[in-house]
Amino acid sequence: MDCWPSTAAAETTTPPSGVIQSISTRATKGDCARRCRQSACLRIGRAGPTIGPVVGPDPFAGMRRPVVNRFRCGTRLCVLLTMLAVAVGTQAGAAQPKFGELAPARIAEIATMLPETPRGPGPRIGERAAWEAAAKAPAFRKVVPQAEVLLKEPIPDTTDELYLDYSRTGNRDRYQRVLFAKMNRLATLVLAECLENRGRFLSAIDATLRAILEQKSWVLPAHDGSLAVFKGQAMEIDLVAAATGANLATLDWWLGEKLPAETRRRIASELERRIFQPLENMVRGKARPYWLTVTNNWNAVCLAGVTVAATTAIPDRQRRALFVAAAEKYVQNFLDGFTPDGYCSEGLGYWNYGFGHFVLLAENVFQATGGKIDLYERPKVREIAQFGHRLEIAPGVYPAFADCHVGVQPDAPTEAMVSRRFGFGWKDVEARGLLLASGPSRDLFAVGLLAFPNSASRRPPAAASPQREVRTWFADAGILICRPAGDPQRALGAALKGGHNAEHHNHNDVGSFVVALAGHTPLVDPGAEVYTRRTFSGQRYESKVLNSFGHPVPRVAGQLQATGRQARARVVKTDFTDPADTLVLDLRSAYPVKGLQKLQRTFVFSRQGAGSLTVTDEVGFESPAAFETALVTFDPWTELGPGRLQVGKGASAVRVEIDTQGKKFEVRAEPIREDLPGRRIPVRIGIALAEPVTEAIVRLTIVPAGK
């Protein structure tokens, strides 16, 4: 177990007088900076010993892309360029997203690293020692019983009517629910057959395979806005198509001649038509290279799936090398989407998905080239690999910033891989996620790469587990994680957010915060909504959970925060010591309010006793204007008396003391009625000054209610 925590040495940084530091590190251009990042996420699908539905953010939010020819001028080219700019958040000071032809000499060099014939991830079904060991592993014990149940059930039917539902209603869930059930069915049946090798699941595997091969589109309806793929007018690769290609190549590698010859021929022809030719067209400039150049999770996810399919199923070594060369070149765009300190502005769920697929890509390329290409060695990967670990406020508690869901935790197999590869010494997560402990997955290629001996498992474990520090300061991103010095079950922790309002999967949330106590978050950033067409459109910030109304930040002169990179927090001061951490932010640029002379938010996190968090807002106007701040919670709350609130229940309840320097105020609670996972309804507890002011100080002091 990681030790919790040690008291780090004091660290204080104060800018010179009159200097305000920017904590924003991503750049966008023009109006595109004021629009949402259209990218996507899927948890890799490991949920203990079962192959179940995906949890976390809606798995496949994404770019609704018009079908255009990148070489045409005029309106279509403008649409394409705008789409790419919206989809890409670039890191300030870093190179712009890269695209260009692959070097023939590098392709030839990579070809010499590859085996003469392709090899897929993991052992084939005839390698019984490996599969029999998996059958005995606790994480895989439920696979065969689940497959036996599926034999009695029909194949989920992804009808044309369901596919067209999104284009008619904007609802993503109805089609995706059926599609994922079909994919889960296939993965469960294949794993069960490999585990027991008795042939009793082969017929059902073949029938399910044929149903997938017959689909008009492997692309999600939400990613086929013009229906060009559905109508056969175009062939594109999205997140699901890439994963489908990798899974079909993997199961063909595993089962081989146990599948009917005609089915195997059909797998090969569909991989060629739906995956290999489209990717070659992209890298050769014959089709738009949209996800090759984006800096979000689409890049790593699609590259991982396509590259696994290629290294597993393409007979020609030179052609296989082209796909590896493309992965080697273009995955740098994904890495460029992180700040230098490794912060993932898409949120923890998207780190699981995007960086989790980077790990799969890196492992596949490492294995395919005999270790001659090691993407783990890229600059910044070590920092990115620690993001989930460093984001933890208290054991098992993480902030749901951006499009993340409350309760999401880092993916154990991903963390186990990087812990062993980099020698981090996270022994508890290695025990839960390395090799067969990683468990089954809807992504069969992930099972092949993670559950069996790999580049991580072949390295020795670190000698000792590191001791958890009392804070993590993502200086480039402007995020501060404050941990208690004592027992995290009894003492307060917090996550404090600066940043800007043009991040990947952006929420307008500059100045937001989360409070943790006793394994729970009584005061929250409420996280992502259930995705619909509105979520990734010009109406994104009509959502009260995505605009600043749904976050614990001020409302100034009746105005919510603006969208765009110009709406950002600027660091005025940081002061990190053993007893307390102080972060001072200037929030003026986040509010389009004329005459706003000052808006400074000061966080002071104290580790004394059971801990406390003080949030102080200082505001000044040229002429009187309204001002209010807010708390957000999913928990019950009550007013204990004038200026005193209690939020939460039991050991995780907190008490909030409100100090307005004598100015009258009102507490106004409003449910935020948006569609959140589990139909949960957060409440915004507004604390509004009763009269317009020219200057004011509003201070909230948050302490455990039991103290």
pLDDT digits (tens, 9 = 90+) for 550-594: 999 999 999 999 999 999 999 999 999 999 999 999 999 999 999
**Is pLDDT at 428 greater than 50 in this prediction?**
yes
Report CA-CA distances (Å) from 315 to 80, 124, 328, 446. Answer: 34, 17, 20, 22
For strands 596-606 and 612-625, give the pairing.
antiparallel
Q: How buried is residue 234: exposed, middle or buried, by Cβ count under 10 Å (0-12/13-18/19+)?
A: middle
Top pLDDT among 59 and 621 is at 621
Q: How many CA atoms lie within 13 A of 279 on its CB side?
A: 30
C-alpha–C-alpha distance, residues 366 and 561, integer Å:
45
Q: Is the pLDDT of residue 429 over 90?
A: yes
Position 647 scores a pLDDT of 98
Residue 55 has pLDDT above 90, yes or no: no
Task: Name the H helices within 127-286.
Answer: 128-136, 143-150, 160-169, 173-196, 202-213, 239-255, 261-271, 277-283
Given a contact cutoff of 8 angstroms between Cβ atoms, the answer to whether 664 and 688 are in contact is: no
Helix axes 412-422, 356-368, angle to 10 degrees: 50
pLDDT of res. 707: 64
Residues 6+ apart with CB under 8 A from 487: none
* Residue 94 in this model has a pLDDT that exceeds 60: no
Which stretches of 337-405 are DSSP H helices? Answer: 348-350, 356-368, 381-385, 387-391
pLDDT band for position 236 (50/70/90)? very high
- Cα dihedral across residues 335, 336, 341, 344: positive or negative: negative
pLDDT at 142: 97
Q: Domain map of the chain by residue range?
A: 3-23+469-704, 26-378+411-465
Range 26-378+411-465 has CATH code 3.40.50: no
Position 220 pLDDT exceeds 70: yes
Mean pLDDT of the region 486-500: 91
Of 537 and 41, the structure prediction assigns the larger pLDDT to 537
Contacts of 375 (CB under 8 A, 6+ apart): 327, 328, 331, 358, 361, 362, 365, 366, 381
Identify the band that residue 465 occupies on the pLDDT scale cut at 50, 70 and 90: confident
Quote the pLDDT of residue 230: 97
pLDDT bin (cut points 50, 70, 90) of residue 98 is low
- pLDDT of the residue at 20: 25
Q: Which of 84-98, 301-315, 347-361 has the lowest mean pLDDT?
A: 84-98
Tokens of 681: 């309804």
* b/e 479-495 (16+ beta carbons within 10 angstroms → b): bbbbbbbbebebbbbbb
Cα 362 from Cα 300, distance rounded (Å): 10
pLDDT digits (tens, 9 = 90+) for 659-696: 999 999 999 999 999 999 999 999 999 999 999 999 99
Average pLDDT over all residues of the chain: 87
Residue 419 in this model has a pLDDT that exceeds 60: yes
Burial 128-157 (b: 16+ CB within 10 A, else e): eebbeebbebebbebbbebbeebeeeebbe
Q: Quick check: helix, strand or coil at residue 585?
A: strand
pLDDT tens profile 578-635:
999 999 999 999 999 999 999 999 999 999 999 999 999 999 999 999 999 999 999 9
pLDDT score, position 81: 31
The strand pair at 3-6 and 467-469 is best described as: parallel
CATH of 3-23+469-704, one of 2.30.36.70, 3.10.20.310, 3.90.1150.10, 2.70.98.70: 2.70.98.70
Instruction: Compare 55 and 382 and report the one with higher pLDDT.
Output: 382
> Would the pLDDT of 334 be above 60?
yes
Span 483-509, mean pLDDT?
Answer: 92
- Gyration radius of the chain over CA positions: 26
Better-scored residue on pLDDT, 502 or 143: 143
Summarised one tens digit per residue, pLDDT across range 507-527 is: 999 999 999 999 999 999 999
Cα–Cα dist 422/415, whole Å:
10
Out of 87-101, 168-182, 300-314, 545-559, pick the least confident: 87-101
Q: Point out which residues pair with 619 in neighbouring strands.
A: 599, 696
pLDDT at 488: 79
What pLDDT does 468 receive? Answer: 87
Note the Cα 674 to chain centre separation in Å. Answer: 21
- Dihedral of alpha carbons 332, 336, 342, 345, sign: negative
Structure tokens at 15: 């800018």
pLDDT bracket for residue 705 (50, 70, 90): very high
CA angle 619, 620, 625 (to 5 degrees): 95
Which of 116, 111, 120 lies closest to 309, judged by CA?
120
- Structure confidence at residue 411 (pLDDT): 97
DSSP codes, 59-124: TT---------TT--THHHHHHHHHHHHH--EETTSPPPP--PPPHHHHHHHHTTS-SS---SS--
Residue among 644, 638, 666, 673 at smallest CA distance from 550: 673
